[in-house]
Amino acid sequence: MFRSKPYPIGLFLPLVLLGWAFSPSDALGQKAKETFVFAPPTVSLAADHSVLNTCAGDTSASLVNLNAKAVSPSGNPIRYNWSTSAGRLEGTGAAVTWDLAGVRPGYYKAFLAINSGGADEACEAFSSIAVFVKCPPPPPPVCPNVSISCPDRVGLNQPVTFTSSLSGGTGNVTPRFTWAVSAGRIIEGQGTGTIKVDTTGLAGQTLSATLSMGGYSVDCAASCLISFPAPITCKKFDEFGEIARNDEKARLDNYAIELQNDPTSKAYVIVYPGQGSRSGQVQAQKSRIVDYLVNSRGFDAGRIVTMVGPPRSYMATDLWVVPQGAPPPTP
């Protein structure tokens, strides 16, 4: 008979039990592994001005308000670290003021770094924002309203006065007065707002006074024009010697018509005695002319002036018309 061969079961049993103990099995109640996901902080920036109009010395328009919007998903506190490429920052935290007074025109940046944890870069976030600084040109100068007061009445060969007045225009300007005249000459006031001009010899001419206002970068000028009346002078209407009575009357008729054309004028009758004139002949000539003008032509005797001139080679009579204001003739 065959006998069964014995096996050393006791030798392998510890190894089987050891392998079972170290085999992963849910039956032994071992817990599954847990996974942790980290979310970094975020930040964005906003400025109340992207363009800043400011010039050197202008501090009222040099401020920019910066506001940061930072989020820490982990809920950790946030630390803010601001810096700029120019200017000066005022304040801390999420809102600061950026002072750009005195910087030259150009682009400038403000930078922000936030941290919501330790030194790990995953706890940091960065952002920046740019502002353009420009210095606008000054406004163009504005001329004041310049007016010149001309004299209401002018007299021949009498000085005239021109007076200026200013209103409005660019402020903080010290005006400089420069006058020019087209005729005559300035005798007082050059460099001031009022001048006096000598008008000798300007009868029948015009005079323009022009004022140029210095101190402005544009031409600010005004002018005033006045006219002088032509000189009033007497004129010789007729001249004759010893002629026939009818010829004399015809000349006196024309003389009377000329005088009637200007009721304000006067008649000047000048009789020049001749070298051989008889006594009383000159007086008779004057009386005869006046009598004819008054009684035959209805002329007012108060408008007639008779004069005796120096002797000539023969007796002669001059008839003059003298407008009002004109100097009388000289025999």
Q: Which of 134, 153, 174 is the last residue of a domain?
A: 134
Rounded to the nearest 5°, which phi and psi values hold at 6? -70, 140
Q: Which long-range contacts (CB under 8 A, 24 or more apart) does 148-154 make?
A: 148/209, 148/211, 148/222, 148/223, 148/224, 149/224, 150/209, 150/224, 150/225, 150/226, 151/226, 154/199, 154/226, 154/228
199 lies in the same domain as 150? yes
Q: What is the pLDDT of residues 68-126, one digit of tens each?
A: 999 988 888 899 999 999 999 999 899 999 999 888 899 999 999 998 876 555 688 89
Q: Which of 112, 134, 156 is the last residue of a domain?
A: 134
CATH of the domain at 123: 2.60.40.10
75 lies in the same domain as 152? no
Q: What is the pLDDT of residues 221-260, one digit of tens each?
A: 899 999 988 888 899 999 999 999 999 999 999 999 999 9
Rounded to the nearest 5°, which phi and psi values hold at 85? -85, -15
244 assigned to some structural domain: yes
Select the more confidently predicted residue: 59 or 145: 145
Sign of CA dihedral 248, 253, 255, 256: positive
- The CA-atom distances, in angstroms, between 249 and each of 292, 297, 302, 316 are 8, 10, 20, 15
Q: What is the pLDDT of residues 191-205, one digit of tens each?
A: 999 999 999 999 889
Rounded to the nearest 5°, which phi and psi values hold at 10? -65, -25
Q: Which of 108, 134, 160 is the last residue of a domain?
A: 134
Q: 203: domain range?
A: 145-227
Structural domains of the chain, count:
3
280 assigned to some structural domain: yes
122 lies in the same domain as 192? no
52 lies in the same domain as 129? yes
Dump the DSSP string for 250-273.
HHHHHHHHHHHHSTT-EEEEEEE-
Describe the strand order of the beta sheet including 63-71 as a list of residue ranges: 42-47, 63-71, 95-99, 88-90
Across residues 214-226, what is the average pLDDT? 85
Instruction: Return the pLDDT at 241.
Output: 93
271 assigned to some structural domain: yes
